[in-house]
Structure 1
Amino acid sequence: MTSHLTPVSAAGRQRRPAIALLAVSCSLALAVTIGGVIGGLRINTTPSEPLGLWRVAPLDRPVQVGDMVFVCPPETDTTLEGFERGYLRSGLCPGGFGPLIKTVTALGGQRIEIAGAITIDGRPIANSNLVSRDGPGRPLHPYEGGTVPSGFVFLHSPFPGSWDSRYFGPVPASGVLGLAKEVLTYAP
């Protein structure tokens, strides 16, 4: 009696693990994408806040000073320049930007003064020193200061190299997507 089984070649045996790895990788990428869209998950890859997985939590009240939020920056000349320089990542916000994670430090009607650091209504903001150049040496131009317009927020991050409202000014509160909540993060 002869067997009609065809021997499996070495190349065929090598393809199986590669195909399985590809299938698992694609399934994981799809799960993360769906979790991001449906579950509000986002990955932070910039050092202005801890690196890792964050969640956009619903905000069922008006934004307040001290809220850490996800916010879509408006499409302005300054944000377009920030995008070209790599301060903003690609994402689903209008203009193709990714949302920022920042803390709200001022609301409409509050007075911002810009010098070597920021003061809001005469109160100094910790860790708000300005820098004149970014890492590659390109000039940075600070926001000129003034009263935050109604319906806008002023954003800050204590990270020294953060690109925030110190440079791009107040942003519309309508761009706030929700509160930023850490899920699995790492602060270097």
Structure 2
Amino acid sequence: MTRRQAITVLGASAMLVGLLSAAAFLGGFRLNLTPSEPLGLWRIEAPSRAIAVGNLVFVCPPVTPLFEEARRRSYLVRGLCPGGVAPLIKAIAALPGQNVEIDEDVRIDGRLLPSSRLRKIDGAGRPLKSFAGGIVPPGYLYLHSHFKSSYDSRYFGPIPETGLLGLARPVFTIDP
């Protein structure tokens, strides 16, 4: 193969990858590379009914100093949400009006939330501040992941449901 042919093949390959990536993005597909949920290809689907506790969702976090710090600490990866981060994939653990109690674990309306033990430090030994707890306000969602090192509402509290992109549906995933 000549140099010119190699450059042509590489250029065509790069263009094909770019076109496929754009089509996947526009089709609502997202790649999850975090251990919060199974690794792999997911699709964002519009909910056909009101969202409920237990729904797995994609949500863009708000642009706040707390999330900017989370980005600097590499809790969040780069992406296309406002603030330059990727959407979070989390389960809805509490809806507006529900009471969230924070101690060593999380309780929602008095019931223990499974896999909700709080950590005092992150993987790099830096201190983690937890959400103080309280009633989830109107227009907000309390999010959770069963993964013990997940950065979720245990630490950042409820977030605006205006960032909700849709339900998270696995297409091709692998449990880590």
Alignment correspondent of 2:8: 19
Find the residue that maps to 1:93 and give its secondary structure: coil
Alignment correspondent of 1:159: 147
Alignment correspondent of 1:3: none
Alignment correspondent of 2:114: 126
Query: Structure 2: where are the runs of 5+ without partners?
Result: none
Once the two structures are superposed, residues 58-104 of structure 1 have per-residue CA deviations (whole angstroms, 9 ceiling, x without a partner) of 11332210110000111122111111111112222122221100000
Once the two structures are superposed, residues 125-157 of structure 1 have per-residue CA deviations (whole angstroms, 9 ceiling, x without a partner) of 110111111111111100000110011110000
Alignment correspondent of 2:60: 72
Q: TM-score, normalised by structure 1?
A: 0.89
- Mapping of residues 46-61 of structure 1, within 5 Å: 46-61=34-49
Between the aligned partners of 2:69 and 2:125, the Cα distance in structure 1 is 15
Find the residue that maps to 1:95 and give its secondary structure: coil
1:91 aligns with 2:79: yes
Alignment correspondent of 1:81: 69
Seen in structure 2, the aligned counterparts of structure 1 residues 61 and 174 have a Cα distance that, compared at 3 Å, is farther
Between the aligned partners of 2:77 and 2:132, the Cα distance in structure 1 is 25
For the aligned residues, what is the CA RMSD? 1.4
1:42 aligns with 2:39: no
1:33 aligns with 2:15: no
Find the residue that maps to 1:31 and give its secondary structure: helix
Between the aligned partners of 2:7 and 2:75, the Cα distance in structure 1 is 36
Aligned residues: 176
Percent of pairs with identical residues: 49
Structure 1 moving runs of 4+ over 2 Å: none
Once the two structures are superposed, residues 96-116 of structure 1 have per-residue CA deviations (whole angstroms, 9 ceiling, x without a partner) of 221100000100000001111
Q: TM-score, normalised by structure 2?
A: 0.94
Residue identity matched to 2:163: G
Query: Which structure is larger by alpha-carbon Rg, 1 or 2?
Result: 1
Once the two structures are superposed, residues 156-186 of structure 1 have per-residue CA deviations (whole angstroms, 9 ceiling, x without a partner) of 0000110000000001112110000111111
Moved more, 137-146 or 16-25: 16-25
1:183 aligns with 2:171: yes
Query: Structure 1: where are the runs of 5+ without partners?
Result: 1-11
